[in-house]
């Protein structure tokens, strides 16, 4: 069944957990979708995972559209959310609506996600007023990595926890239909989830959230540059791929690949006439 913004609302009301995974290409999106995962996030984490950048800062609107459109072609039932990259919405409300509109029109996604609290509420409100559903993102917001000075758990002090609660209420009030909470202490994330009527989707925020999201390459152990504490490895796909690549290399070099069953035939008569 097709997942929509209304599905998210209903699942929160019924106390059903929402599952979300990232994808950045057609084939992966198809597998995630067929597995019954509720939502696919085309995260700007594609900057790290797909493009090899050190962080998400260099990712462009064009990158998000290119990967987002591929994912939408592969996802039939999952709700596809595409990240708005750094400086595509912080600069002005006008830029935010134009870029969110481009992302939705040119990918076919159902919603966009952007990072920040009170300071981006005018943008959230304007995007939602343009009929583009918005997922907010609080806690460790990777586009602010230089301001944070590193990837750290957020909201641990009284002041920081109060700020996070204020921001969570503000993004709900501005019209966000869901909220991603990243690297937030479990008890605080649970409190925020209980406080809001919109679902929270946690990543490194414990199981008091209404749903969970992970970067697919992390949960498949395919991305080895950095593995956060909150990731569970569901399969050693990276090792399986490495072994397959080694086996291929060896088979090509020892001549065992391609075998007769991988080749096309031609009548000997035709070949003889070529001599």
Choice among 115, 166, 182, 261 that is catalytic: 182
For position 3 contacting ligand KIV by CB under 6 A, the verdict is no
- Running DSSP on this structure, what letter comes out for residue 273? H
Q: How many residues bind ligand KIV (CB under 6 A)?
A: 12
Going by C-alpha positions, the residue among 120, 122, 123 that lies closest to residue 141 is 120
CA–CA dist 7, 18 (Å, integer): 9
Which one of residues 182, 185, 205, 221 is an interface residue with ligand KIV (CB under 6 A)?
Answer: 182
List the structure tokens of 208: 């008091």
200 binds ligand KIV, rule: CB under 6 A: no
**Rounded to an integer, what is the distance from CA 182 to the centroid of its chain?**
12
Separation between Cα atoms, residue 61 and residue 49, nearest integer Å: 17
SS3 106: helix
Sequence-separated (6 or more) residues with CB below 8 Å from residue 199 = 8, 9, 11, 12, 18, 178, 179, 193, 210, 211
The verdict on 134 binding ligand KIV (CB under 6 A) reads: no
How far is Cα 100 from Cα 97, in angstroms, rounded to an integer?
Answer: 5
Residue nearest to ligand KIV (CB): 43
Active-site residue 106, yes or no? no
Q: Verify binding: residue 63, ligand KIV, rule CB under 6 A.
A: no
Rank residues 83 and 273 by Cβ distance to ligand KIV and give the closer one.
83
Three-state secondary structure call for residue 22:
strand
Site for ligand KIV contains 203 (CB under 6 A): yes
Q: Which is nearer to ligand KIV, 198 or 265 (CB)?
A: 198
Contact residue for ligand KIV among 171, 188, 192, 213 (CB under 6 A):
213
- CB of residue 21 vs ligand KIV: minimum separation in angstroms? 9
Among 18, 32, 44, 104, binds ligand KIV (CB under 6 A): 44
Tokens 């090792």 — which residue? 239
Query: Site mask, ligand KIV, residues 22-41, x = CB under 6 A?
Result: x------------------x
**Strand, helix or coil for residue 43:** coil
Using alpha carbons, select from 10, 160, 53, 90 the residue that is nearest to residue 43.
53
Residue (33 or 83) nearer to ligand KIV, CB: 83
Select from 180, 193, 212, 221 the one that contacts ligand KIV (CB under 6 A): 180
**Catalytic residue positions?**
182
- Give contact residues for ligand KIV (rule: CB under 6 A): 22, 41, 43-45, 83, 137, 180, 182, 203, 213, 215
């Amino acid at each position: 069944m097709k997942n929509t913004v209304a599905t998210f609302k209903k699942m929160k009301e019924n106390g059903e957990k929402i599952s979300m995974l990232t994808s950045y290409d057609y084939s992966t999106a198809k597998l995630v979708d067929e597995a019954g995962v509720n939502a696919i996030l085309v995260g700007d984490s594609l900057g790290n995972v797909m493009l090899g950048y050190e962080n998400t800062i260099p990712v462009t609107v064009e990158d998000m559209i290119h990967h987002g459109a591929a994912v939408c072609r592969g996802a039939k039932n999952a709700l596809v959310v595409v990240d708005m990259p750094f400086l595509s919405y912080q600069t002005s409300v006008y830029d935010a609506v134009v870029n969110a509109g481009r992302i939705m029109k040119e990918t076919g996604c159902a919603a966009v996600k952007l990072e920040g609290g009170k300071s981006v509420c005018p943008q959230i409100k304007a995007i939602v007023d343009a009929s583009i559903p918005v997922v907010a993102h609080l806690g460790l917001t990777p586009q602010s990595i230089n301001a944070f000075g590193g990837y750290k758990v957020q909201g641990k002090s009284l002041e920081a926890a109060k700020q996070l609660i204020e921001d969570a209420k503000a993004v709900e009030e501005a019209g966000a239909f869901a909220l991603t909470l990243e690297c937030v202490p479990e008890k605080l994330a649970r409190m925020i989830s209980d406080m809001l009527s919109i679902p929270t989707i946690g990543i490194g925020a414990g199981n008091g959230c209404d749903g969970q999201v992970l970067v697919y390459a992390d949960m498949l152990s395919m991305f080895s540059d950095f593995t956060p504490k909150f990731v569970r490895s569901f399969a050693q796909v990276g090792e399986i791929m490495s072994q397959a690549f080694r086996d291929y290399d060896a088979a090509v070099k020892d001549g065992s690949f391609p075998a007769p069953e991988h080749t096309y035939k031609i009548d000997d008569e035709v070949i003889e006439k070529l001599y």
